[in-house]
Amino acid sequence: MKRGTKLLYKKIFAGLLGGGMLFMPNWSYALPSGGQVVTNNGTITAGGKVMDITGSGNVAIDWNSFNIAADEIVNFKNMQAVLNYVSGGSKSKIFGKLNGAGVNVFLVNPNGILFGKTAQVNVGQLTASTRSLEKAALNSFNGSLSPLDAGGAANVKADIINLGKLKAGKLVLEGNNLSIIGADSLEVTDKSKITLRAGENINIGYEVTDKTTIDVGDGKGNTHQVSDYGKGGGDKASDVLSTASVTDLKGSAKSINDAMLVHDVYELQAIDRNTGTINGSSYVVGNYMLTGDIDAGDTKNWNSGRGFDPIGRLNRTGNGVTGSFSGAFDGMGHSIQNLYIRQIGNQYDGYIGLFEGIGKGGSVGNVNMAGGHIEGTSNFGSIAGLNWGTIYNIVNSAELVCSSGGVGGIVGTNGGVIRNAVNNGTLKIDGRSGGITGYNGDTVWGNTGILLDVKNNGDITSESMGGIGGITGINSSGSSITGAENTGLVELKDGGGSEVGGISGDNDGLIENVKNSGNIKGHIYSTNVMGVSCVGGIVGENNAGGVVKNAENSGTVIGDNTVGGVAGSNEGVLEDTQNLAAGAVTADGMSVGGVTGYNTGSIKDSFNNASITGGTIYAGGVAGSNEGGSISGCYNSGSVTAQNLIGGITGRNNSGSVITGSYNTATVTGTAADSKGFSQVGGISGSNKGTVNGESYNTGDVEAGGYGVGGIIGYNYGESIVEHVYNKGNVTGGSQYVGGIAGSSQGELNNVFNTGAVASGVSGAKYIGGIAGYSVSVISNAYNTGNVGSVRAQYVGGIAGYSKTGTIENCWNSGEIAASHYLGGIAGYNNSDIRNCYNEGAIIGMGSSQYIAGIAGNSKSGTITNVYNLGEVTGYSQNYGVIIGTGDSVISNSYYKTDTGYKKYGDDSEYESIEAFNAAFLAGMTDSDKALWLTYGDRMTPLLKGLLKPLDINVGDIETEYTGSDYTGLVQALADKLAEQGIIIDVTKLLADGKTEIGEYDLKDLLFSTQAGYALNVTGKLVIKEKSPEPEPPADNYVPSSDSKYTGTLTNIKAEKMQQEEYRNLDKRRRNTIEQASVSVEGDGIKLE
């Protein structure tokens, strides 16, 4: 089972989230830090604002960070080549001077590299790359880097931006995107010695020499001079660098995007005038690059208040849409400030933003939308209304306002790729919107969307319509969100809507490696206004095709119905998800869970640590209600509270549902019974019509005041399967149906046990059992060691309080049974068949008790076969017995303990020794029944094989020296050797005969187990050797150092002392070992991890 060590959650592009996309000089940047020379010899000396790095030959240095502020200098001296690899989590920002005359300098940072406007690099050769390197590559650095293979190329995720001056005899730039302010910034005399390698775009700016004028609708007419992008004359990089090597990351030829420089808001608007024809339709064409920040505040007064005209107008046709922006736009890390767009009313059809549409093949990146206001009718975002291309390295802080939906902080509808984007702007909308996109996936025209490494910090508020999320409103089929985080509030204010999530409101696609810490809030029913349903920390509704993996929520989640820490409702797959302690989940109505409120899908390896509070019914630590779904490898450690139908894992496990390998450690509390008096509260499930198995267990206390309270199941229906489960928590119920496993059971209970106390908080309660309070089916291979009973309670038993029909077979009780009437070590009241069972627990009548006995207080009908009682029966007034208190059951081969031995019930045959009793007891059985029992001669009374956990002991021989008394350390010695194999046992459940004399003894003849222990398969021997003779003491207590006899003895004594110290610390080591064990044997048996 993967756990929180599992998420899981990777750090999302730390430089970007820290505001790194603003790329302006930050004087707090220090010189490179954390450098360690890993290849050859080198010295790093820093003083003031200068760092000198000297060495010889080829030097490799592993840095935590590599930054240079504008007034700082880094010098490389006296070496042939130096590899600077940044293994820390931030991009490199170079604003100062980097010198290295004659030195081949490599700067490799997988997080990205920025050469700022004031950067000056002057080295022999420069290689700047965002590839990832293994430690072996650093250790073997020989002055060059190997070409990228397919895997290495795929791992190049980050970009390089150059605004400064790079001077070198040879230059290599390698990144996912390369953004270069101009060809003249690459000061390499021989241009053929320039190599540019990129996975996506190589954008290089140039000045357009042609000029024209533009009217932007500000009342000043056609007076603003701008570059004539239609003509686009100038010294293009593709011409200047015609001899350079320009390829993709695998070495295939690639083209430079000659980007026309944009200087101000008027030239920004002029981009929309540069149109061309593609396949008979008009598109905005060309490549563009910002030279600096742009103040767009005046756009509020343009076009009669409509503001800026979005670039790349879309044209709707009967067959779809044409138009859009088809080129490359590179902001170079600069800001567009205070852009204003307001297009509302019926004459507008949405799709607005800086760009109306970005077409396939188009790209927009490295830009910060700083402030501003965008308002429209639907389907818009700060960057684009519709995206079919690629958007990368974006930060938005503009406010977005809409009276409907389809709004995203970055894009309205995404049918392309958005990577490394952050939204800080608020969204005031009404439905189907998100911090990054309104829709991820363009279902109208059939394009899937990809969101990669994105984050939302802005608050998202919808008035009445749902489908809202911190990242996207709708994640459609085939679309994906990978590496996303939301910290903003997501709120649906008014009632009637649904689908509110920290990442996505509605999901049909893939969501993985995501995190939400923002509060998620749906309106609670009030004053006849409907509440909000399907509210989740990650997704509001995860549909049948939806998959959520590696997701973490720590934000509070509030809704009316169907509310979950990860998903409000789940029909798909939730895998490796977690709701942390801070993510308290509250529903005013029903169906609330730590992972999901309502599950018909699959939940795997997920957990909840937060408190779960339901208003009415169906509350669970993992799922509020499991309706035909599966829950596997999950756990809950957060308290669960609601009125009724509550469980540590699920409130209701309905027909066809499965819970396997899951556990609860928290308190489960029912606050009110239903109209018929039932609470139906359990440590795993409140009610069960499905399957609960696979070593699922509960250790939390279970409490409720109504009927049907159990350590595992509150109410177990007839078609259910409950097997291989156990409870260790205390169970306190109401006036009826309280059980260590099930409060009331109509279905089979097989291979189950309880060690928790079982009681009622109500005087005079009835139907209380160590396994089931009330049973009308089969209980088999079960045992109870917890105390059972309450003041004035009746129908109380170690296995069943009342076994009305069915069978109780292969069961054992050692818990104390204390009540007033109808109490027994196996059943308080019995109408069923009891077979192959025994009781060791004391039976204590309280007050004027009657109908009390070692096996059944009243066994009115049925049969009792192959049973024995070792427990003392006390406190009775009438109708008592060692086997039954009263009844008409047919009783055979039944025995009980007396002061002098063991007596057979019915004929008074008595056996003084354990061995004689064992033989007589087994002689009265059929061969098939005999096979169910295990005897150890005169060591103990018969044990039930089916309740023992298999344990193979194959550790070789155990050797010790003769001491003259029994060797008592055998069990601990075996436990120590098993621990070395990764197997941890409970030494209190394994017993051994002591042996004194010198010799060899088969371990299988010495070892035996308690009933709560192990079915043993043993090899090896105990070898008791003759004790080594004591050395004669030296004269005058002097030990000559040259005497090998005494030296050897002292060595042995030291070794023995070290071994003793090792054994004293072994328990600590075993406790550590269990965390990593491949196989462990605990109190509940062997577990395969």
pLDDT tens digit string along 270-307?
999 999 998 888 999 999 999 999 999 999 999 999 99
Rounded distance between C-alpha atoms, residue 107 and residue 93, angstroms: 11
H or E, element range at 281: strand 281-284
What torsion do the CA atoms of 168, 171, 175, 180 make, to the nearest 10 degrees? 60
Looking at residue 516, its pLDDT comes to 99
Average pLDDT over residues 553-566: 97
pLDDT at 1053 over 90: no
Beta-bridge mates of residue 51: 46, 74
Looking at residue 1029, its pLDDT comes to 78
Looking at residue 688, its pLDDT comes to 98
pLDDT single digits (tens) 258-270: 999 999 999 999 9
Does residue 926 sit in the same domain as residue 841? yes
Q: Is residue 72 part of a domain?
A: yes
What DSSP string runs through 964-1023?
A: SS----HHHHHHHHHHHTT----GGGEEE----SSEEEEHHHHEEE-TTSEEEEE--EEE
Average pLDDT over residues 153-174: 97
**End residue of a domain, out of 121, 149, 175:** 175
Does residue 36 sit in the same domain as residue 154? yes
H or E, element range at 485: strand 480-486
Predicted confidence band at 362 (pLDDT cuts at 50, 70, 90)? Answer: very high
**End residue of a domain, out of 136, 159, 175:** 175
Please list, residue by residue across 189-215, b when 16 or more beta carbons sit within 10 angstroms of its beta carbon and e when fewer do.
eeeebbebbbbbbbbbbbebeeebebe
Predicted confidence band at 497 (pLDDT cuts at 50, 70, 90)? Answer: confident
Q: Is residue 1007 part of a domain?
A: yes
Does residue 933 sit in the same domain as residue 1010? no
Reading the block at residue 204, the tokens are: 């290089």
> In Å, how far are 703, 728, 729, 1009, 1011 from 1084, measured between CA atoms?
24, 10, 14, 14, 12
pLDDT at 1048 over 70: no
Instruction: Give the pTM.
Output: 0.90
CA 863-866-870 angle, 5° bins: 110
Average pLDDT over residues 107-118: 98
Predicted confidence band at 443 (pLDDT cuts at 50, 70, 90)? Answer: confident
Average pLDDT over residues 914-921: 97
Does residue 885 sit in the same domain as residue 962? no
Number of separate domains in the chain? 3
Q: Within 13 A of 818's CA, how many CA atoms are on the CB side?
A: 13
Reading the block at residue 69, the tokens are: 């502020």
DSSP 3-state assignment of 20?
helix
Q: Is residue 1001 part of a domain?
A: yes
Q: Is residue 1039 part of a domain?
A: yes
pLDDT at 528 over 80: no
Looking at residue 876, its pLDDT comes to 79
Looking at residue 7, its pLDDT comes to 38
pLDDT single digits (tens) 412-441: 999 999 999 999 999 999 989 999 999 999
Predicted confidence band at 17 (pLDDT cuts at 50, 70, 90)? Answer: very low
Q: What CATH number did the domain enclosing 123 receive? A: 2.160.20.10
Which residue in 403, 340, 344 sits closest to 373, CA to CA?
A: 340
Q: Is residue 850 part of a domain?
A: yes
Average pLDDT over residues 739-751: 98
Does residue 967 sit in the same domain as residue 920? no
| Pair 599, 627: CB distance under 8 Å | yes
Looking at residue 10, its pLDDT comes to 39
Looking at residue 1, its pLDDT comes to 42
E strand residue ranges, 219-346: 224-227, 245-247, 257-262, 275-278, 281-284, 287-290, 294-295, 314-317, 320-323, 328-337, 340-343
pLDDT single digits (tens) 807-858: 999 999 999 999 999 999 999 999 999 999 999 999 999 988 899 999 999 9
Does residue 865 sit in the same domain as residue 969? no
pLDDT single digits (tens) 982-1001: 999 999 999 999 999 999 99
Report the percent of the chain where pLDDT is more than 90. 86
pLDDT at 589 over 60: yes
| Pair 552, 578: CB distance under 8 Å | yes
Does residue 780 sit in the same domain as residue 927? yes
| Pair 262, 311: CB distance under 8 Å | no
Average pLDDT over residues 340-364: 88
Please list, residue by residue across 1041-1080, b when 16 or more beta carbons sit within 10 angstroms of its beta carbon and e when fewer do.
eeeeebeebeeeeeeeeeeeeeeeebeeebeebbeebeeb
pLDDT single digits (tens) 928-942: 999 999 999 999 999
Does residue 898 sit in the same domain as residue 817? yes
DSSP 3-state assignment of 678?
strand
Predicted confidence band at 525 (pLDDT cuts at 50, 70, 90)? Answer: low
Does residue 940 sit in the same domain as residue 956? no
pLDDT single digits (tens) 1006-1038: 999 999 999 999 999 999 999 887 776 665 555
Predicted confidence band at 444 (pLDDT cuts at 50, 70, 90)? Answer: confident
Reading the block at residue 788, the tokens are: 């059972």
995: left (phi over 0), alpha (psi -120 to 50) or beta: beta
Average pLDDT over residues 161-175: 98
Looking at residue 909, its pLDDT comes to 92
Predicted confidence band at 344 (pLDDT cuts at 50, 70, 90)? Answer: confident
Predicted confidence band at 24 (pLDDT cuts at 50, 70, 90)? Answer: very low
Mean of all residue pLDDT scores within the chain? 92
Does residue 902 sit in the same domain as residue 1004? no
Fill in the amino acid letter for 1056. Answer: E
Which residue in 251, 379, 377, 257 sits closest to 327, CA to CA?
A: 257
**End residue of a domain, out of 144, 175, 206:** 175
| Pair 865, 892: CB distance under 8 Å | yes
Range of the domain at 88: 24-175
Among the residue ranges 155-169, 302-316, 448-462, 538-552, the one predicted with the least confidence is 302-316
pLDDT single digits (tens) 365-398: 999 999 999 999 999 999 999 999 999 999 999 9
Average pLDDT over residues 101-110: 98
Predicted confidence band at 1071 (pLDDT cuts at 50, 70, 90)? Answer: very low
pLDDT single digits (tens) 703-723: 999 999 999 999 999 999 999
> In Å, how far are 52, 276, 481, 963 from 1026, measured between CA atoms?
71, 101, 71, 9
pLDDT single digits (tens) 75-93: 999 999 999 999 999 999 9
pLDDT at 757 over 60: yes
Cβ neighbours around 791 below 10 Å, total: 15
Does residue 943 sit in the same domain as residue 1042? no
pLDDT at 1067 over 70: no
Looking at residue 542, its pLDDT comes to 99
**More reliable by pLDDT, 18 or 664:** 664
Q: Is residue 139 part of a domain?
A: yes
pLDDT at 26 over 80: no
Q: Is residue 675 part of a domain?
A: no
Cβ neighbours around 923 below 10 Å, total: 9
Q: Is residue 246 part of a domain?
A: no
Residue written as token pair 């019926």: 346
* Nearby residues of 831 by Cβ (< 8 Å), 6 or more positions away: 803, 804, 805, 859, 860, 861, 862
Rounded distance between C-alpha atoms, residue 827 and residue 458, angstroms: 62
Average pLDDT over residues 131-144: 95
Report the percent of the chain where pLDDT is more than 70. 91
Average pLDDT over residues 960-982: 95
**Rounded to the nearest 10 degrees, what angle do helices 1066-1076 and 970-980 cross at?**
40
Does residue 168 sit in the same domain as residue 78? yes
DSSP 3-state assignment of 394?
strand
